Structure 1
Amino acid sequence: MIFISIFILFSVRILWIQYRSAFREVTVGGRTMNEMAVRQREEGIELDSGRGHFIDRNGMPLTGDVIWSPVLFPVRKLPEADELQRLAELLHTTSDQLEHKWTTLKKPYVWSELVGKEGTPIKLSQVDAEQWDKVDGFEVLPRVSRYKGAVSGSQWLGYVAQRPDVIRKVQAESKQNRSVPLTMLVGASGLERTFDNFLRGIGSTRAFYTVDGKKRPLIGIGTRVKGMDNRYYPLQVRTTVDYRIQQEIEALTEQANMEEGAIVVLDVNSGDVVSMVSRPFYNPQHIDLKGGSWSNHTVKAAVPGSIFKTVIAAAALEERLTSPSEVFHCTGHYGKYGLSCWKEGGHGDITLEEGFAKSCNIVFATLGERLKASSIAITASKLGLAQKIGWNESSFLDGEVFSQIDQEEAGIVFGKTTTADGGVRAQTALGQRDVMMSPLQAANMIVTLLHSGKVISPRLVSEVNFKDGATMVNFPVQTITSPFGQISPRTAKLLLSWMREVVTDGTGISLQGASWNLAGKSGTAEVLKDGKASNNQWFIGYGPIEEPRYAVAVLVQNRRPGSLHQAAALFRRTMNLLASQE
């Protein structure tokens, strides 16, 4: 009797649930049983992750390329032979290959050029998509691809990847007990990583193809699109980069067959990054962690060579240990420490001003020995070296240091274990020994001189906006104050005038006749690459000299000793390109 009573109660409960469901009453999780049953037979594919996007300074999208892609859904019955052949031609394959792939599907599949491998999805236009007749299990859908092209030199943008460790932390810290799938893509490097907290969306947009339990399409339902409709999200991050200039400088490095190095362009008025190109290029959609192409050379420290003579000249002038007219004698050999001048036979009698323009090693080795190590280090600090300079704020996010620029290295002047004797200081004065600086620091040093010694912190992002265009947060122009103060405006002005002489009478004479009148400083550093002697070639400077607009640093790494100075040639071509944009 007890068993019969329980059975009757259970049967009545089932009948009641079915009755309520038939009249679309809410039963489970806000959905009817009929809706739940249908959902179990929906085959879904993500069209848009809901992640926020980046735009350039002019509003041009840097991420979020809409691609109309062919999608196959698992269905029981495939189209007739003639229809299958027509689809195979669209998908650049054969009927047999298409049939084999389709019949073995367990989940929706975006058709790629390389079937069964991680290939590139076939791209169709919206017009192409609308021309196709309805075919069960086949749809051409608008999917949001995160990145526009294949390879680029925009490592500052970074890439996204699956990082379960980050997702678990997000889940643990979520105040809304938000369920975040472990497979969700998050920022792994570049701005994708530093702005990841802003970019995570509130839900994806998915397309569902509804079938019954035997994978037969349900008549009258077809494909349904579901997503979050929110006024404020996803957010939009406005960068300071000019995408058109970025692309054109990337093309310059391709034409020059530049293998390794970087080009940085800064706006001299704001200190903002206009372009940062890193070689070799990377593919944000297919990251080779071992190959290292994702590493951003624009913010990695490298041996600077003679561009560091700018720091030595500033230190000696600030300490009043020399004057522009002091005369040095260069025979081509320093006489100790194994140092010599790059010019065979030497420069003869040469003033400090001339020594800077002609990059005389003897002049600067002498100044290096004359200076204290502390004076060199302090002047480097005043010019924004041996420290990270990218925009950051220690109180921006719950007291944590928020840095816009990922992978940035601080560089160094003297090694911690190095005794800075005369030989070390002489080598340091030539930008060798332990000295390291990044192309971003080198370009920013020019900006510092143009601002009479005030160091500006380069920005990559100016603001973050809500979906409706309203501003969520601004990142104001920021300055960096060294604990030692700044160099004098007089010294800054003098160094800038000497940089002009580098072009008119010195090592940068090849820049004469460029679209703008230019100024700068060349450098060649001796390094070892795989145990073999190699050179880092540099050129840093600004233009036009009458009304400076841009500061540029070019680094070409691991060049064969004695080869053409590719950095100076690329500096000229970059400045000509910038002049053509006016």
Structure 2
Amino acid sequence: MSLLRKKRIFYLLLSFMVVMGLFALRIAWIQTASAFKTVTVGGKTINELAVRQREESIELDPGRGHIFDRNGKPLTGELAWTPILFPVRKLPLETQLARLASALGTTVPELRSKWERLERPYVWPKAGGESGEPLRLGEEAVRKLPKLEGLEVLPYMARYGPGERGNQWLGFVTQRPDVIRKLRENKHQPDFALTLQVGASGLEKTLDGFLRGLGGVRAAYTVDGRKDPLGGTGTRVNAAASRYYPLQIQTTVDDNLQQKIERLAATMNVTEGAVVVLDAKSADIVSMVSLPYYDPHHVDPAAENWGNKAVKAFVPGSIFKTVIAAAALEEYATVPGEVFHCNGHYGKYGLSCWKKGGHGNITLEEGFAKSCNVVFATLGERLSADAIVRTAAKLGLGRPIGWSDPAFLGGDGLRPLDHEESGAVFHRLVAADGGVRAQTAIGQRDVLVSPLQAANLVVTLLHGGQVMAPRLVSEIRYKDGSLLSDLPSQASPSSVGQINPQTAKRLLSWMRLVVTDGTGRALQQAKWPLAGKSGTAEVIRNHQQRNNQWFIGYGPIEQPKYAVAVLVQNQTEGSKHLAAELFRRTMDILASPG
């Protein structure tokens, strides 16, 4: 069933309100009488106060705004027919329970135990579990369900789709009474229920003030004081009506590409890391995958999988040589064509080249393409610490780089990317002597770069040195589709200026040399001609030496469309460079139409 059809069915239910209006008028009349007056409804004599006390309701849709991808595909709001149990005094017959248990994927004892103990309506979960993900039924399955008192199958709005995803930038919602109490202190805010779910991470958190609605859709199943259903009342549906709310958020992400890259990483058995795809022209985030994946229906705060690794900073290894090459050219610490000699050992600080026996005589360009540690340790010692930090800043490193507006819509500002880290070049308490600078120059020591910053560094080179601010959100619209505000593309210049366009152009050509003659030759098998830079960072994990693998680059080289950064974490020393392969195969996905 299409989403549009499901929504139509959902809103048809609201027409029940007209039918139920007669009953509502009756109840209103009752409420004007004595609280102890007995009345007859549906052939049963009851006390009006008991009715009100036993009218438990359930929220079918919280009225929260929804988030969409760049093509208008909903990323939140999964509408599906879902079984809901209401508290009743007397359960159905054993044969009826057996039929229902079979349809719900559970056992009769489990169903009976759950139903007998109900104090409020209960959304039946998928596979009888407690993850919070509701059971979704197709039309045929709905028709086969037995008609039972206390059982309703209603269109229930699940916030997220089924399964685990790598889109941690979307985030998740949860109940936060402390947040609601603080909101209640503002007299201009609606009287939110303490059970209202609010954003806890990702866009759900950073845009929570825009996503909170004015009220949702609730269904009430009325019983008397003995939990017997009131005949003739049925299920009442109440909905808040507004032309403008809830708001709708449009992101820059292409969810079809996002899911393809998520499946690719899973197929390649990549379990830790991140993939970032940026539009080469605008720096918009087209895809941002974080591993391991998370289930937004069931988040363990103590686990790490709900955090977005794409905006976390890690040791970059040799991809940082791009910064050192830029600094050396900008500061005239070298010139293109300079010849270095690498015998495999640097001769001090315990540094050596990754190639046993060394590269011999090697030019600066070849040193970049073949990622020679001796060449770049030499450049690191020639450069001052200030020059390295300054060049890193010019390339968008060492600071949050995502789109932000300090006075968005006249408020307290907006920064859509949640928990974005600044990264670092040097530790501020450690003197940057020759040894520190040499280690920094090969992307080790205290250097930290996020995958988002790494991808944006490539975009910066493609823009001739101008740093752009990657967007995750492009528009915020009212419910009726009219525009509340757009979030236009913007640059993110450094206070120390930008690198020379000629330097940027030269580095891009060297990145192509990496693929044709250097460490990235395996990328020649790609559908597009590509350019990039590989990196391997040594890290300590659980008291063991492990490697973080990187690859950054762009393609196609003639008319670049995308800049991509890949991080694969926790690899054993000497293992296959999965990051380069994941980069190539990601680019192949981007090169494939549809």
For Structure 1 versus Structure 2, the TM-score category normalised by the shorter chain is over 0.9
How far apart are residue 239 of structure 1 and its match? 0.7
User: Following superposition of structure 1 onto structure 2, how do residues 341-352 of structure 1 map, counting pairs within 5 Å?
Assistant: 341-352=353-364
Kindly, what percent of the aligned residue pairs are identical? 61
Residue by residue, what CA displacement relative to the aligned partner does 1:421-457 show, whole Å, maximum 9, x if unpaired? Answer: 1111111111111111000000000000001111110
Q: Which amino acid aligns with 1:90?
A: A
Q: Which amino acid aligns with 1:57?
A: R
> Is 1:261 aligned with 2:273?
yes
Q: What is the TM-score normalised by the length of structure 1?
A: 0.92
Tell which deviates more after alignment, 324-333 or 124-133.
124-133
Of 452, 456, 461, the match for 1:440: 452
CA distance in 1, matches of 2:372, 2:575: 20
User: Following superposition of structure 1 onto structure 2, how do residues 365-384 of structure 1 map, counting pairs within 5 Å?
Assistant: 365-384=377-396
What's the secondary structure of 2:265's corresponding residue? helix
Of 231, 234, 241, the match for 2:243: 231
CA distance in 1, matches of 2:387, 2:38: 78
Alignment match, 2:297:
285
How far apart are residue 469 of structure 1 and its match? 0.9
Structure 2 regions of 5+ residues with no counterpart?
1-24, 40-47
Is residue 206–residue 226 contact of structure 1 (8 Å, CA) maintained in 2?
Answer: yes
What's the secondary structure of 2:324's corresponding residue? helix
> Is 1:145 aligned with 2:158?
yes
CA distance in 2, matches of 1:549, 1:406: 26
Alignment match, 1:128:
141
Higher CA-based Rg? 1
CA distance in 1, matches of 2:182, 2:193: 12
Q: Which amino acid aligns with 1:534?
A: R
> Is 1:581 aligned with 2:593?
yes
Of 87, 91, 96, the match for 1:78: 91
CA distance in 1, matches of 2:477, 2:410: 20
Of 95, 103, 116, the match for 1:103: 116
Alignment match, 1:46:
59
How far apart are residue 394 of structure 1 and its match? 0.9
How far apart are residue 68 of structure 1 and its match? 1.3
CA distance in 2, matches of 1:33, 1:228: 31
> Is 1:65 aligned with 2:85?
no
Alignment match, 2:493:
481
Q: Which amino acid aligns with 1:279?
A: L
Q: Which amino acid aligns with 2:139?
A: Q
Is residue 99–residue 146 contact of structure 2 (8 Å, CA) maintained in 1?
Answer: no
Alignment match, 2:309:
297
Is residue 133–residue 162 contact of structure 2 (8 Å, CA) maintained in 1?
Answer: no
Alignment match, 1:465:
477
Structure 1 regions of 5+ residues with no counterpart?
1-19
Is residue 21–residue 27 contact of structure 1 (8 Å, CA) maintained in 2?
Answer: no
> Is 1:357 aligned with 2:369?
yes
Alignment match, 1:24:
29
How far apart are residue 118 of structure 1 and its match? 4.4
RMSD between aligned residues = 2.1
CA distance in 1, matches of 2:70, 2:130: 37
Alignment match, 1:328:
340
Of 349, 352, 359, the match for 1:340: 352
Is residue 343–residue 360 contact of structure 2 (8 Å, CA) maintained in 1?
Answer: yes
> Is 1:541 aligned with 2:546?
no
Alignment match, 2:6:
none
Alignment match, 1:318:
330
User: Following superposition of structure 1 onto structure 2, how do residues 419-430 of structure 1 map, counting pairs within 5 Å?
Assistant: 419-430=431-442
CA distance in 2, matches of 1:22, 1:118: 37
Residue by residue, what CA displacement relative to the aligned partner does 1:324-356 show, whole Å, maximum 9, x if unpaired? Answer: 111111111111111111111111111111111
CA distance in 2, matches of 1:392, 1:259: 31
CA distance in 2, matches of 1:452, 1:186: 42
What's the secondary structure of 1:512's corresponding residue? helix
Count of paired positions? 559
CA distance in 1, matches of 2:187, 2:485: 22
Is residue 280–residue 293 contact of structure 1 (8 Å, CA) maintained in 2?
Answer: yes
Q: Which amino acid aligns with 2:579?
A: A
User: Following superposition of structure 1 onto structure 2, how do residues 473-552 of structure 1 map, counting pairs within 5 Å?
Assistant: 473-552=485-564
Is residue 21–residue 33 contact of structure 1 (8 Å, CA) maintained in 2?
Answer: no
CA distance in 2, matches of 1:171, 1:576: 51
Is residue 250–residue 277 contact of structure 1 (8 Å, CA) maintained in 2?
Answer: yes
Residue by residue, what CA displacement relative to the aligned partner does 1:488-533 show, whole Å, maximum 9, x if unpaired? Answer: 1111011001100000000000101210000000011111111211
What's the secondary structure of 1:160's corresponding residue? strand
CA distance in 2, matches of 1:33, 1:486: 81
How far apart are residue 128 of structure 1 and its match? 3.1
Is residue 27–residue 33 contact of structure 1 (8 Å, CA) maintained in 2?
Answer: no
Q: Structure 1 pair 121/395, CA: closer, same or farther in 2 (3 Å)? A: closer
> Is 1:553 aligned with 2:558?
no
How far apart are residue 98 of structure 1 and its match? 2.9
Alignment match, 1:570:
582
CA distance in 2, matches of 1:325, 1:423: 25
Is residue 132–residue 298 contact of structure 2 (8 Å, CA) maintained in 1?
Answer: no
Is residue 134–residue 158 contact of structure 2 (8 Å, CA) maintained in 1?
Answer: no
